[in-house]
Structure 1
């Protein structure tokens, strides 16, 4: 429906649509401006009251003879506030109102005046819990989209930085921002992503980025390796934009989706660049080694335990010395699931009880579980290493992908011995090799296709561009 020039028709329509008589937070205020009836609509809690008050005070002294014939002239003469718009579509107006933008209806004008003085409840831009760094900036994304775009703008003061806004969801109308550098982005990929987002028809993005990811890239569920990289750090997101990547921000989500992302991108961390090249290279290589150890350590140990004759003399200490009451495969699988149980319990434990419960869990699951005969000390040692090593990955999705591959390797090794270990390894390698990024390129580039200079950049931390320029 189009906005009518009759204030009564407009008021009747919006009263039926918005029902301010039922919804207490929908505020409708009848006014008199320049001798004409007017009506203001806003959402309580989404509006900067001081700003709106000043705007209304500026209009209170308008005389009847001073009223212009159209809304455009009225806005130019009497609304000095910067973010003023004109809207004729009532449906679009309702969406803006529910997003927090107040609007003003004046009798005789067939357009509504939108006054964007909205504000959202927001927490401070403190450092994210998961993406911490030893050195570097300590700010992080929050749940408010405008704050997140401002954090990126603060780092990239280039007019070629583009931030396109669109919304998804029949009920939620969730705001989404696509951020990229106009002169560096892959235009074909950008158009593909933009088209996919526009074709998404859902009721709401209940799970924010995850809901959007499953809509724009309905990949095969049985390959657990993540297609997307998520970051709660503005510096990481800004660096990715400058490298030609695309960042997608979703309102109500404190993280950015980085596209496209290969496994090397997902393994990277901000600490690699906040330290000198030698230290950054060491951190990166350490993380790569831990990546493989997390996957292969326990299956390889199980393989040796099933074939003691294969153990060389210098590795004789890895043999289980105590009596085995529960088969090693069952010990390893029980611990795999028990660790996830402990992780879920830690998430739901009140902070005041975290320390005492951690001590209790450490004693019970550590010393007593070994003494009772359920677990051998060697099994506990290797699973403890794997558990801690998982936290060296900032990506939860990559950590769980390695976990699923490790469990598969354990089961195949137990049933098929060496051939099972080889089969499990081939499956894990196949999941990496045959995986594709959202751009359709190799997931493990520059290994396949092989590109030596790019591979060196991925493994070794080179000097930053400004270092090379300044010598």
Structure 2
């Protein structure tokens, strides 16, 4: 991987890099410009960069930029956060599972609820209460699309608002606009609730780049579900999965260790392992030294039949 990255950087011929590491990323990943999923990870934290370097990743630093480019980076690398390793393993596992749950909600909550609202026959009698009491004048599909756009508008507005009032502006806009939109009949309350929950899941994603890609993926599945209902939902899931399977980050499958399946590595993704048991580096990175810690020496058997010492 190091040699491949070095060769790609050497062939860069451009008069300037005003966007620093982002421009370098696009120049060394040709042919994947329109893929929304990030194949590299950015960080400004020395501990995060050092941890990835010790795992066998490659770090790329660009002059005048405080960010470090980490590569290769898979889908699951973007879901890890240093906070999990700053806590005890038990707390780290809990935080990781909460984060995974939020990411799943950000991807599938609104398309799944839209499907169940359009196809109430798919709901068992015990879950009929989650369906909408009334649909409103605007189709549910358009309500969700408008709500997604509104969330993005609020987010961008808070970015360009001076910091002292950005938080209060975002809260006021979200609460007032959501309440007024429900009162005038633009949105039904369920649309506001589930869109807000999905947005919270988006903000739980550690990687901003992955969060934006997941948002587009959610919209893609939502649109297919709105037009084709159950077949559209299934097709959206299948196409998204195939797209992720075909994506690679500098030769590394994007869904590793799920595909190709690596049970040991997948266990380390699901459960934050204690440092003492992290004895090997990820094999998919092909590190020169696969061991992070020496293996414990096997216990010696006691020698039998020896002469006893006199008391």
Tell me which interval the TM-score lies in, with the shorter structure as reference length: 0.7 to 0.9
Q: State whether residues 436 and 443 of structure 1, in contact with CA within 8 Å, keep that contact through their aligned partners in structure 2.
A: yes
Residues 84, 93 of structure 2: 8 Å contact kept: yes
Who is 1:349 aligned against? 161
Deviation at 1:220, TM superposition (A): 2.2
> C-alpha deviations, 1:426-448, integer Å up to 9, x for none?
1110121111111x121111112
Deviation track 1:401-444 (CA, whole Å, cap 9, x = no partner) reads 11111111111111111110011001110121111111x12111
Any gaps of 5 or more consecutive residues in structure 2?
280-292, 297-311
SS in 2 for 1:237: helix
Match for residue 247 of structure 1?
Answer: 59
The reply to whether residue 289 of structure 1 matches residue 101 of structure 2 is: yes
Q: Describe the superposition over 1:256-282 as per-residue Cα deviations: whole angstroms up to 9, x where unpaired.
A: 110111111111110111111122122
Across the aligned residues of Structure 1 and Structure 2, the Cα RMSD in angstroms comes to 2.0
Partner of residue 378, structure 1:
190
Matches within 5 A, 1:94-105: none
Q: How many residues align?
A: 282
Alignment of 1:276 with 2:88, yes or no, is: yes
Moved over 4 A (4+): 466-471
- In structure 1, the residue matched to 2:253 is 442
Kindly indicate whether the alpha-carbon contact (under 8 Å) linking 2:154 and 2:174 is maintained by their aligned counterparts in 1: no
Match of 1:204 among 16, 34, 41: 16
Match of 1:306 in 2: 118
Partner of 2:300: none
Is 351-360 or 219-228 further displaced after alignment? 351-360
The answer (yes or no) to whether the contact 2:21–2:62 under 8 Å persists in 1 is yes
Q: Which residue of 2 aligns with 1:180?
A: none
Name structure 1 gaps, 5 residues minimum: 1-188
> Is 1:340 the equivalent of 2:152?
yes
Aligned to 2:272: 461
Shift of 1:222: 3.6
Deviation at 1:466, TM superposition (A): 8.2
CA shift digits 1:66-107 (9 cap, x unpaired): xxxxxxxxxxxxxxxxxxxxxxxxxxxxxxxxxxxxxxxxxx
Tell me which protein shows more helix as a share of its residues: 2
CA 1:276 to 1:252, structure 2 compared with 1: closer, same or farther past 3 Å?
same
Q: Secondary structure at the match of 2:53?
A: helix
- Cα distance in 1 for residues equivalent to 2:69 and 2:38: 12
CA contact (8 A) 1:225 1:431 kept: no
| Partners of 2:144 and 2:191 within 8 A in 1 | yes
So what's the TM-score if we normalise by structure 2? 0.86
CA distance in 2, matches of 1:416, 1:355: 39
| Counterparts of 1:408 and 1:385, CA distance in 2 | 18
Is the aligned partner of 1:430 residue 2:207? no
Distance across 1 between alignment mates of 2:31 and 2:208:
18
Between the two structures, name the one with larger relative contact order (CA 8 Å, sep ≥ 6): 2
Per-residue deviation, 1:323: 4.8
Distance in 2 of aligned mates of 1:362 and 1:399:
19
Q: Aligned partners of 2:76, 2:278: CA distance in 1, in Å?
A: 23
User: By percentage of residues, which structure has more strand?
Assistant: 1
Match of 1:164 in 2: none
Whether the 8 Å contact between 2:158 and 2:166 is mirrored in structure 1 is yes
Change (3 A) 1:285 1:219: farther
Q: Deviations over 1:141-190 (max 9, x none)?
A: xxxxxxxxxxxxxxxxxxxxxxxxxxxxxxxxxxxxxxxxxxxxxxxx11
CA displacement, residues 223-281 of structure 1 (integer Å, 9 cap, x when unaligned): 32110111121110011111111111112222111011111111111011111112212
The secondary structure found in structure 1 opposite 2:42 is strand
**What corresponds to 1:8 in structure 2?**
none
**Is this contact kept in 1: 2:106–2:200, CA < 8 A?**
no
